[in-house]
Structure 1
């Protein structure tokens, strides 16, 4: 066989091998789930970054252009502003690994179904799969008899108390996350640690030395660091991270610190994502849902507010990252999504049916489980 014939034969064989090589199938379920909430983070900032009208309304006696927050986060388009505010979320996570719904300018509607439009009812809707307007009408530290998706996953998967964990900035999560105390790891607000892990114990001690302006909400730093320490020490299959400063600084009319809290949250997401990618148990085996308990007012007069009378507070956003889902970037012109669908969607990522526990819960979000084209 001459050289030209030999090359032709090998090229044909190579092409044949490529044509029959099996494609790597996209997985249909995952092994782990992470739920993350950024309390009261408005769609306006998530999709548009710095709101110049709101910033101007909070600045006295100086030109807004001279402020540090303007110089750090302002850009001429919504897309550029949001990327300056949350560079990892928009530049990497949503661009390469996930998708986000809730930008109403693109015909993407995500809304709560409860009529209260404040925190406890919103978190209860997320975790129990339905609104409880007739019962949950306050933010009081009170436990209700409705099992949550965290309870469901612990029992259905036969997990121990460290394999399901919730870390939250707001102390009321001690009552929100489960209908029974002590079933899984919970640390929320200014709470001492029972975990023997030295990193967690040190963080729990330090939080009492760096108080926030709020009696029942600690700095997100401690919530995030404890969650990461628990992740490293115990390798949970179900993790809930509930950050809070995005809401509390807004209530205090500190728009600068609200934006800074969003920027820190972006950095936390980056660190969490890099950790998950670095560990085989989680890499390409973990689904994330990132969302919010309620929206806020649309205008400079009510951006600090939310509640049943605040227009705009019913609209929220949801982001999804999973190796089972090929969607990327922003959702457009789709059927509306509701907050009560989070619980069933989280369970469905693990191949489980949350509605077997709560038949009236919202359905899994259909587009996330459509066959890949």
Structure 2
């Protein structure tokens, strides 16, 4: 009788702790500093006319004496829903550290590290070279459970090369690509808009990336969806702090819409994990370097991540002393989908703050 009860307890325990995630949405916010994520708008930048137009109006929208209130104004979904139901890491003031491992501190090496788990020293430029490494997107697209259900929607026009769409077979929508896939009225309208509006220097506007991805999510129900936003980095390089703040705020709203849709749709409800991360940080010790990153900007190596989903414990903002790295994201994504991602290199381990 005791043996039967032990077996029953084991089976029930297995059910209780069974992994629930069936879909993952990975989102990158290019070059968003951990300083704004955890403390909101920086007053020394916000009140500098060299960086901020309409200072009074921007203060009214994003400023508060309390850093907690400031960050909630900037990213209400992150500091409301994710704070209460998920995990947020990277507040170095509290001892939570997240860093990049690649030596370069700019975009292509960062995205390669996020998507492959391997900080490849040979990936050392932002040139449009097809990635010789196998990303977790390509790996998942080769698995029976996710084949044909992996897609990426990206603002930056280098992403088809980073993901190596030709070799991987992953559907990649990026600036300059017009390959209809849903054939919905929304997709046709977005095609017309993208043809008619001017582009940013590095790609299309983020709203086109978001609404194309949202249309795909509704019509194709992918297992793995990747969204890569870029306006935050674009505006920071242009030293436009007001626009940088509004871009962060807008992306936070986009993520909220994705989460609300998933939680209201039976196919995704309580089966979807959203992970947010950035490819690099920006300068802060030398305040003028907030516009910059790269090997010569020491503190751009510090980043952050956040996650919400059925397998992620509701820890909220991490305050423990710990160290995580950018190269752990890809293995985490794979583990959430029940896969052991390997690509022939030594890669980061899954993040246990996100999935046990």
Using structure 2 for the length normalisation, give the TM-score: 0.91
Q: Secondary structure at the match of 2:96?
A: coil
Per-residue CA shift, 1:56-102, capped at 9, x if unaligned? 234589994xx21111110111111000111122112222x211100
Give the corresponding residue for 1:244.
230
Give the corresponding residue for 2:108.
120
Confirm or deny: 8 A CA contact 1:29 1:351 kept in the other structure.
no
Per-residue CA shift, 1:103-128, capped at 9, x if unaligned? 00010000000010000000000001
User: Which residue, out of 68, 75, 96, partners 2:64?
Assistant: 75
User: Which residue, out of 101, 106, 122, partners 2:94?
Assistant: 106
Q: CA, structure 1 residues 53+155, in 2 after alignment: closer, same or farther (shift >3 Å)?
A: same
In structure 2, runs of 5+ residues without a counterpart are 1-11
User: Which residue, out of 22, 36, 44, partners 1:31?
Assistant: 22
Confirm or deny: 8 A CA contact 1:58 1:254 kept in the other structure.
no
Aligned residues: 343
Give the corresponding residue for 1:91.
80
Distance 1:235 1:62 in 2: 41
Give the corresponding residue for 1:327.
314
Q: What does residue range 114-263 of structure 1 map to in structure 2 within 5 Å?
A: 114-133=102-121, 135-161=122-148, 163-178=149-164, 180-181=166-167, 183-195=169-181, 196-214=183-201, 216-263=202-249
How far 1:338 moved relative to its partner?
0.5
Give the corresponding residue for 1:48.
39
Q: CA, structure 1 residues 80+26, in 2 after alignment: closer, same or farther (shift >3 Å)?
A: farther
Distance 1:235 1:247 in 2: 29
Confirm or deny: 8 A CA contact 1:111 1:314 kept in the other structure.
yes
Per-residue CA shift, 1:230-280, capped at 9, x if unaligned? 011111110000011010000011000000001101110111111101111
Distance 1:204 1:192 in 2: 7
Select the structure of larger CA radius of gyration. 1
Per-residue CA shift, 1:125-161, capped at 9, x if unaligned? 000111111x111101110211100011111234343
How far 1:358 moved relative to its partner?
3.4
Distance 2:199 2:234 in 1: 10
Confirm or deny: 8 A CA contact 1:148 1:179 kept in the other structure.
no
Per-residue CA shift, 1:184-211, capped at 9, x if unaligned? 2110113223223332232022112221
How far 1:28 moved relative to its partner?
2.0
In structure 1, runs of 5+ residues without a counterpart are 1-20
Distance 2:53 2:137 in 1: 48
Confirm or deny: 8 A CA contact 1:58 1:253 kept in the other structure.
no
Using structure 1 for the length normalisation, give the TM-score: 0.87
1:301 has 2:288 as partner: yes
How far 1:359 moved relative to its partner?
4.8
Confirm or deny: 8 A CA contact 1:192 1:205 kept in the other structure.
no
